Amino acid sequence: MSVARALDIAYVRLAAPDLAVQARFLKDFGLVDLGLHGDVQLFASANQAPYCYIVELGEPRFIGFGLWVESTEVLETLAAREGGGVEPLGLPGGGSYVRMVDPDGFEIDAVAGQSFKVAAGPENAIGWNENGSHKRVDVFRRTAKGPSHVLRLGHLGLAVTDFKRSERWYKERFGFLTSEEFEAEPGTPLGAFMRADRGGTPTDHHTIVLVASPTAPRLRHVAFEVAGFDDLMAGREHLSQSGYKLHWGVGRHIFGSQIFDYWLDPYGREHEHWTDGDQLTAAVSPRLVSIDAVMGVQWGVERPNRN
Ligand SMILES: [Fe+2]
């Protein structure tokens, strides 16, 4: 049994040397700028989270991320075990957190007690004419130009120095389930896609991806769910016209099955738009899969590098 159960990823924290430059990218990426709160700048998506992206002033670096857990009581248990304290977040939405440091030095916050905002309603839910079924009749599809509509922060990928050590650390505290594990060669674990244990409630195929890498420790990418395929493509055009650098896309992943598009922020950090990912309950057993399939695509552009 784990100490707590992560429900989902709450926020990501990064540092940027120019907050205005990072803010311009994030708005073109599709997040809402909530402005400065103390010494951090907050950004929100369309879902209920008060914010999902925290930028601090400083040399470009990935600081860490927050995970929602079930209750503030669970925070007390975590704090007692980790030797820390339960602190107020002190940001819009309130709530509390316990900050821990993972084996690679990333700051991981367990978060509970936030009050959620009203989520934006779904847009453009007019259906697709496909598979011989014409759901859209007497309605014209017109995709608006402009940034993607980011629904939520969905997952992130970490390059870690010791995969099994990090896997144990996250599973012991947050109860993550392995969706797919992959090996460098038979018998040598390299990494895994891990999801939240939500019992019978469907959840994303992965909330964190851990991969042992010679470039560790670092953030490999942070990923956001957008409204749909047209929305992803509109956002791609907007980012391209705004002068940002495409990293990888468009394609459909094999594990998680998302249609994806990766863009680099002004400091070279991978930000993924995705849509139509797999949803799994806790009943699905872990699978061992090939590393080639992990980096491969069902269709679309091949990954530009493999570290
Ligand atoms: Fe991803």
Tell me: the pLDDT tens digits for 193-249?
A: 999 999 999 999 999 999 999 999 999 999 999 999 999 999 999 999 999 999 999
**Does residue 130 lie in a domain region?**
no
**Does residue 127 lie in a domain region?**
no
Give φ, ψ of 92 to 5 degrees.
-50, 135
Tell me: the pLDDT tens digits for 3-47?
A: 999 999 999 999 999 999 999 999 999 999 999 999 999 999 999
**Does residue 76 lie in a domain region?**
yes
Domain count, the chain: 1
- What's the residue count for the chain? 307
Specify which residues 152 forms β-bridges with. 225
CA of 139 to the centre of ligand 1 (A): 33
CA of 206 to the centre of ligand 1 (A): 8
* Token pair listed for 204: 């994303």
Q: Is the dihedral of CA 192, 9, 198, 172 positive or negative?
A: positive
CA of 71 to the centre of ligand 1 (A): 27
**Does residue 135 lie in a domain region?**
no
- How far CA 289 is from CA of 83, 259, 302, in Å, comes to 37, 20, 18
**Does residue 124 lie in a domain region?**
no
**Does residue 194 lie in a domain region?**
yes
* Token pair listed for 200: 């019978």
Contact 30, 46 (CB under 8 A): no
Report the CATH number that the domain containing residue 197 is assigned in CATH: 3.10.180.10
Instruction: Provide the residue range defining the domain that includes 273.
Output: 8-114+149-300
CA of 113 to the centre of ligand 1 (A): 27
Contact 219, 157 (CB under 8 A): yes
Q: What is the pLDDT of residue 290?
A: 84
Tell me: the pLDDT tens digits for 94-141?
A: 999 999 999 999 999 999 999 998 877 666 578 899 999 998 999 999
**Does residue 235 lie in a domain region?**
yes
| Gap between the Cα atoms of 122 and 108, Å rounded | 31
CA of 154 to the centre of ligand 1 (A): 8
CA of 97 to the centre of ligand 1 (A): 25
